[in-house]
Amino acid sequence: MNKNFQDYISYLENLTPATLSALSNYVTADIRFADPLNDATGVEQMRKIFLKMFAQIEDIRFFVNHAASQDNYCLLHWRFEGRFKGKVFGFDGTSFIRFSQDGLVIEHIDYWDASSNFFEYLPIVGWLITWIKRRLHSDQKLS
């Protein structure tokens, strides 16, 4: 695993609103950041996404369980934990990260299950998703 990748992991694991000003030390100006809720281009757009996350979720913890890299491509398996509207939650995810020739992140794409790990916590939508899952689960038992 190259040093740039190790440094980026360390930065993400220690990310706070105060450290967001250093984001441009790790990513290119035209980075593409995507996850199930966002698809943004540019370091300022990525910073805004993280600021919004910190404003809405308390006690955020992010830690990497496994990491692998080859050439300029890297994969992470991670865990995200926090508290949303007083309710503690956590979920696992995976990231695809691509580095530019100068060692900065040019693409960061997160993969995680938004239906189980985010939407279920929202009023109305969460109730509907939970109801659908229960219905599907009970239908499977009948088969």
Q: Which tens digit of pLDDT belongs to each residue from 87-116? A: 888 999 999 999 999 999 999 999 998 766
Structure confidence at residue 125 (pLDDT): 53
pLDDT at 131 over 90: no
pLDDT at 132 over 80: no
pTM to 2 decimal places: 0.80
Mean pLDDT for the stretch of residues 55-82: 95
User: Do residues 5 and 97 lie in contact, with contact meaning Cβ atoms separated by under 8 Å?
Assistant: yes
Burial of 108 (0-12, 13-18, 19+ CB in 10 A): buried
Structure-model confidence comparison of residues 89 and 51, the more confident one: 51
pLDDT at 46 over 90: yes
Identify the three-state secondary structure at position 133.
Answer: helix
Structure confidence at residue 45 (pLDDT): 98
pLDDT at 129 over 90: no
pLDDT grade, residue 86 (50/70/90)? confident
**Distance from C-alpha of 62 to C-alpha of 51, rounded to nearest angstrom:** 15
User: Tokens 């109801």 sit at which residue?
Assistant: 131
Structure confidence at residue 84 (pLDDT): 86
**Distance from C-alpha of 18 to C-alpha of 40, rounded to nearest angstrom:** 21
Give whole-number Cα distances, 137 to 83, 131, 142, in Å: 27, 10, 9
